[in-house]
Amino acid sequence: MKKQVDLIIEARWLCPIVPSNTIFEHYAVVIVTGQIIDICPIIKASEQYQSNEVTLLTEHVLIPGLINLHTHAAMSLMRGMADDLPLMPWLEEHIWPAERSVVSGEYVQDATLLACAEMLSGGITCFNEMYFYPEFGALAVNQAGIRANLGLVVLEFPSTYANDADDYLQKGFSAHDSWRNNPLISSSIAPHAPYTVSNQTFKTIVTYAEQLGLGIHTHLQETRDEIRQSEEKYGLRPLQRLAEFGLLGPSFVAAHCVHLLASEIDLLAEFGCHVAHCPTSNLKLASGIAPVTQLLAKGVNVGLGTDSAASNNRLDMFSEMRLSALLAKGVTEDAAVLPAHQALEMATINAAKAMALDHKIGSIEIGKLADLTAVKLSDFNTNPCYDPISHLVYTCGRENVTHTWVAGELRYSNGVYANIEPIELREIINTWQPKLRQYKH
């Protein structure tokens, strides 16, 4: 007798990520209560299982849901507002003034929902967030049905959200408590950057992170100016300063890491830290190119992030995969460096490891949650196809995504969202764009 299951997905190709650089042909994924219970040839699945819901992907490759390891989702409404500027003028003259004027809980909920829609349509099933009013971001995450690690942002200076570092922390912990049992949401403490957080606050963060079992997510050594200012003020480079306070470890995620000494790469490797590589944002803000091949060679876990739509200007992991691979080849003058399968791993299992979620997501394995993305490969501009993994990185774009599942629930399919209406997104844009227009560069 066949076993009754919730969902069977039959795919032309299946890329499980684990084992590495593997493709299965004509395989099925069998799902019960959001969890993968079997991965087997379609013929075997049809013999052993039955379901009222069977999704046929005869022209597709099925992959784990893509994971965006560093973003500020609520900045999606600032897309294109202040382009063609370096980081600090971009922040100080446009982004921070706009945030002081406009950002509120309602704004964060609306802007995060817009970002969630963009990410789901591009095959992203999980993102690592850092922004104000995380409890309102959580409302958007719940509506969209996406997975998120919401950072409890910490700064020294006041904002519309909090007055000082302690106020940021306490409000963050209150938000953390509100979603403690939510299966879609996890937390980290998110000190914005070494140049916006004091020594004492970093010491406090280390204590709280250890007590609550939370990871730490911060920006680090994104620009040369950041390093120069740190040396002038503290007599230390930013990474050295954080190391002195005990921040480094297997729960530490550093975004950018563009400018690293060889000794600093060794330090990140020694402590088992993780790096969120954001190639598009780093290029657009003229910050530089991160030494990804050196990091990987030393065993540092590197995932991919988009950064915000204000500095990218897309929440598009296909773009990040392709650019990360091409940059590595160009910088090293070695075409074999950072092959396609490794770029795909950076956008899936590596990012899951960085958030300590690799036991749940990041690969298609029995026992893991069914966070899955289907990418159509039958269009003329994706043919002929000799290697689906190569196509995912070098040929496909987010427009080739047709289905996105989170824990076995279909959240996006061929232009239609399960819980988001296009008119709602249009109303969000029409409401907030006039208020932000004055801060345009």
Q: Which of the two residues, 15 and 441, has the higher pLDDT score?
A: 15
Does one domain contain both 163 and 242? Answer: yes
Looking at residue 54, which CATH number applies to its domain? 2.30.40.10
Q: What is the pLDDT of residue 86?
A: 86
Which pLDDT score, from 0 to 100, does residue 87 have? 83
| pLDDT beyond 80 at 270 | yes
Contact by Cβ (8 Å): 215, 241 = no
Output the CA–CA distances (angstroms, integers) from residue 175 to 76, 136, 424, in the order listed.
22, 9, 25
Checking if the pLDDT of 121 tops 90, the result is: yes
Q: Please report whether residue 178 resides in a domain.
A: yes
At 192-222, the pLDDT tens digits run 999 999 999 999 999 999 999 999 999 999 9
Positive/negative CA dihedral, 327, 69, 63, 141: negative
Indicate if 184 and 276 belong to the same structural domain: yes
40 and 158 in a single domain? The answer is no
- pLDDT at 438 > cutoff 90: no
426 domain residue, yes or no? no
Average pLDDT in the chain: 97
From CA 68, how far away is CA 230, in angstroms rounded? 28
Q: In this structure, are 250 and 284 located in the same domain?
A: yes
Q: Domain with 153 in it: what CATH number?
A: 3.20.20.140
pLDDT at position 228: 97
In this structure, is residue 425 part of a structural domain?
A: no
Is residue 294's pLDDT more than 80? yes
End residue of a domain, out of 335, 354, 373: 354
pLDDT digits (tens, 9 = 90+) for 362-376: 999 999 999 999 999
Q: Which residues pair with 147 in a beta bridge?
A: 126
Q: Region 145-165: what's the mean pLDDT?
A: 97
Asked whether residue 265 falls in the same domain as residue 288, the answer is yes
Same domain (yes/no): 135, 83:
yes
Tell me: do 61 and 117 sit in the same domain: no
* 334 located within any domain: yes
- Which of 304, 325, 354 is at the close of a domain? 354
The arithmetic mean of pLDDT across residues 274-295, rounded, is: 97
178 with 285, same domain?
A: yes
- Do 330 and 384 fall into the same domain? no
What pLDDT does residue 248 have? Answer: 98
Question: Do 311 and 375 reside in the same domain of the chain?
Answer: no
Mean pLDDT across 218-234: 97
Q: What is residue 88's predicted lDDT score, i.e. its pLDDT?
A: 86
β-pairing verdict for 409-413 and 416-417: antiparallel
Give the per-residue pLDDT at 439.
83
Quick one: tokens of 178? 């509100």
Q: How many domains does the chain have?
A: 2
| Residue 327 token pair | 């940059």
Let me know if residue 438 belongs to a domain: no
Residue 115 and residue 35 share a domain: no
Query: Is residue 441 in some structural domain?
Result: no
In a domain, 211, yes or no: yes
Three-state secondary structure string covering the chain: CCEECCEEEEEEEECCCCCCCCCEEEEEEEEECCEEEEEEEHHHHHHHEECCCEEEEEEEEEEECEEEEEECHHHHHHCCCCCCCCHHHHHHHHHHHHHHHHCCHHHHHHHHHHHHHHHHHCCEEEEEEEECCHHHHHHHHHHHCCEEEEEEEECCCCCCCCCCHHHHHHHHHHHHHHCCCCCCEEEEEEECCCCCCCHHHHHHHHHHHHHHCCEEEEEECCCHHHHHHHHHHHCCCHHHHHHHCCCCCCCEEEEECCCCCHHHHHHHHHCCCEEEECHHHHHHCCCCCCCHHHHHHCCCEEEECCCCCCCCCCCCHHHHHHHHHHHHHHHHCCCCCCCHHHHHHHCCHHHHHHCCCCCCCCCCCCCCECCEEEEECCCHHHCCCCCHHHHHHHCCCHHHEEEEEECCEEEEECCEECCCCHHHHHHHHHHHHHHHHHHCC
Least confident segment among 24-38, 79-93, 196-210, 358-372: 79-93
Burial profile 69-106: b = 16 or more Cβ within 10 angstroms, e = fewer: bbbbbbbbbbbebbeebebeebbeebbeebbeebbebe
User: Does 387 lie in the same domain as 339?
Assistant: no
Query: Is the residue at 439 inside a domain?
Result: no
Q: What is the mean pLDDT of residues 31-38?
A: 98
Domain that holds residue 404: 3-65+360-417
Half-sphere exposure of 3 (CA within 13 A, CB side): 12
